[in-house]
């Protein structure tokens, strides 16, 4: 439940009222009184737990007033021209005071405005003890001024009528809802809420930046992983191509070069009736050759002649057995020793009927 605290400074004491906010209504939850010292300071007891929303009301004796005439009523515009209207009418000049304005009526010259101001030194003297206690009012107003503005007469600003506790409580609630004035302006502006908002925004920005960094890290990791997989596939493709075509030294694009070989074989369709070149290459790629190499693949009708070299005759026979798993009519048609001590071979196979 939201709560607000209202400090009502009187002649000799400070009245603290804490209200529970229930929808648009306010219920008094706590009430305390503290003695006010000559330097406008007071001490809170240990049991006092204040909410963030704090309002401060000053007595009429702490404020100064001037009535000025302006041609408009808009409060923002009135605040802009007040320094010029009050110049020469305020002891020490307008730079030494904090002011606000209240419209009090109309006349032949326009609008009557009650300029309410307080010396900066006095306001600082009032706020500093509060801030030392961790109290930073949202608004500095005056419930006594609100009471004086009802059926306003300048006399009411001097002859202050006493207010009962119930009246002060009612006026405090009205000030929380809509302050009559707010002297927390200029260098005395309320900044704690702004600082909290800035801190929250900074925290949000840092968290968003972290999320972006994490997201980018994940994307970069996936790109790196994909690059690794692609590189591995390219290496495997090149090794398979080299095993199929060991005589080729200039390998630029394995896939395109393999397609060229297939197109070359498909161009010899009449000599390869019933033979599917791509199936032949795929079958040969699946065979473990243990150092054996194919130098030439010749297709003569339905017969496929594989020529190459192996480490020994037993390696040729082992290759023959492995070829039987993928081809029909496998037979060693020729085998002889080479000058390098290896065994040259020719093996004839036929593609199995699908």
**pLDDT tens across 334-354, in order?**
989 888 889 999 999 988 876
Average pLDDT over residues 136-156: 91
What CATH number labels 254-351?
A: 3.30.1360.100
Q: Is the pLDDT of residue 42 over 80?
A: no
Neighbours of 313 (CB within 10 A): 14
Q: What is the pLDDT of residues 256-284, one digit of tens each?
A: 887 887 777 666 655 545 567 778 888 88
Average pLDDT over residues 164-188: 92
Average pLDDT over residues 214-238: 86
Range with the lowest mean pLDDT among 130-134, 194-198, 317-321? Answer: 194-198
Q: What is the pLDDT of residue 274?
A: 58
b/e map 222-246, b = 16+ CB within 10 Å: eeeeeeeeeeeeeeeeeebbeebbe
Q: Is the pLDDT of residue 324 over 80?
A: yes
Residue 151 φ then ψ, to 5° = 50, 60
Q: Is the pLDDT of residue 104 over 80?
A: yes
Fold classification of 3-188 is: Nucleotidyltransferase; domain 5 (3.30.420)
Range with the lowest mean pLDDT among 16-25, 69-78, 213-222, 239-248? Answer: 239-248
Q: What is the pLDDT of residue 41?
A: 66
> Among residues 342, 338, 260, 265, which one has the least CA distance to residue 300?
265
| Residue listed under structure tokens 């690794």 | 228
Q: How confident is the model at residue 242 (pLDDT cuts 50, 70, 90)?
A: confident
* For the ranges 98-102, 274-278, 290-294, the one whose mean pLDDT is highest: 98-102
Q: What is the pLDDT of residue 65?
A: 93
Q: What is the pLDDT of residue 197?
A: 64
Range with the lowest mean pLDDT among 22-26, 196-200, 223-227? Answer: 196-200
Q: What is the pLDDT of residue 344?
A: 92
Range with the lowest mean pLDDT among 7-11, 12-16, 257-261? Answer: 257-261
Neighbours of 308 (CB within 10 A): 20
Residues 251, 291, 332, 301: what is their CA dihedral angle, to the nearest 10 degrees? -20
* Residues found in the chain: 354
Q: How confident is the model at residue 181 (pLDDT cuts 50, 70, 90)?
A: very high
Q: What is the pLDDT of residue 285?
A: 85
Q: What is the pLDDT of residue 63?
A: 92
Q: Is the pLDDT of residue 193 over 60?
A: no
Range with the lowest mean pLDDT among 35-44, 59-68, 75-84? Answer: 35-44
In the sheet that holds 293-300, the strands lie side by side as 293-300, 303-310, 343-351, 327-337
Q: What is the pLDDT of residue 119?
A: 92
Q: What is the pLDDT of residue 247?
A: 76
Predicted TM-score (pTM) of this structure:
0.55
In a 10 Å sphere around its CB, with 0-12 CB exposed, 13-18 middle and 19+ buried, how is residue 3 labelled?
middle
Average pLDDT over residues 82-102: 86
Mean pLDDT value across the chain: 85
Average pLDDT over residues 214-241: 85
Q: Which spans in 39-136 are helix H?
A: 75-86, 120-132
Q: What is the pLDDT of residue 268?
A: 60
- Spatial contact of 301 and 273, defined as CB atoms under 8 Å apart: yes
Average pLDDT over residues 25-49: 77
């Amino acid at each position: 439940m939201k709560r607000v605290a209202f400090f009502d400074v009187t002649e000799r004491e400070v009245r603290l009222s804490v209200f529970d906010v229930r929808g648009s209504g306010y219920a008094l939850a706590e009430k305390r009184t503290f003695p006010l010292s000559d330097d406008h300071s007071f001490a809170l007891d240990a049991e006092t737990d204040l909410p963030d929303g704090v309002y401060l009301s000053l007595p009429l004796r702490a404020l100064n007033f001037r009535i000025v005439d302006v041609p408009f009523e808009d409060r923002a515009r009135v605040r802009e021209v007040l320094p010029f209207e009050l110049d020469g009418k305020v002891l020490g000049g307008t730079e030494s005071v904090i002011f606000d304005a209240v419209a009090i009526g109309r006349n032949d010259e326009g609008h009557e405005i009650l300029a309410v101001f307080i010396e900066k030194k006095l306001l600082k003297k009032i706020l500093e003890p509060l801030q030392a206690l961790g109290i930073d009012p949202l608004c500095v107003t005056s419930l006594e001024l609100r009471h004086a503005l009802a059926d306003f007469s300048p006399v009411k600003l001097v002859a202050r009528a006493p207010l009962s506790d119930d009246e002060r409580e009612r006026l405090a609630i009205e000030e929380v809802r809509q302050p009559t004035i707010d002297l927390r302006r200029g260098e005395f502006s309320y900044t704690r809420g702004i600082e909290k908002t800035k801190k929250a925004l900074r925290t949000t920005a840092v968290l968003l930046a972290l999320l972006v960094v994490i997201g980018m890290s994940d994307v970069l990791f996936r790109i790196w992983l994909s690059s690794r997989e692609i590189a591995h596939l390219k290496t495997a493709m090149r090794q398979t191509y080299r095993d199929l075509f060991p005589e080729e030294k200039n390998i630029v694009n394995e896939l395109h070069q393999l397609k060229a070989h297939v197109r070359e074989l498909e161009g010899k369709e009449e000599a390869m009736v019933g033979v599917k070149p791509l199936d032949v290459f795929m079958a040969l790629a699946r065979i473990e050759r243990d150092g054996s190499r194919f130098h030439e693949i010749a297709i003569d009708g339905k017969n496929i002649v594989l020529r190459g070299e192996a480490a020994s005759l037993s390696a040729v026979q082992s290759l023959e057995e492995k070829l039987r798993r993928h081809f029909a009519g496998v037979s060693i048609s020729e085998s002889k020793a080479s000058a390098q001590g290896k065994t040259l071979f020719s093996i004839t196979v036929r593609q199995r009927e699908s």
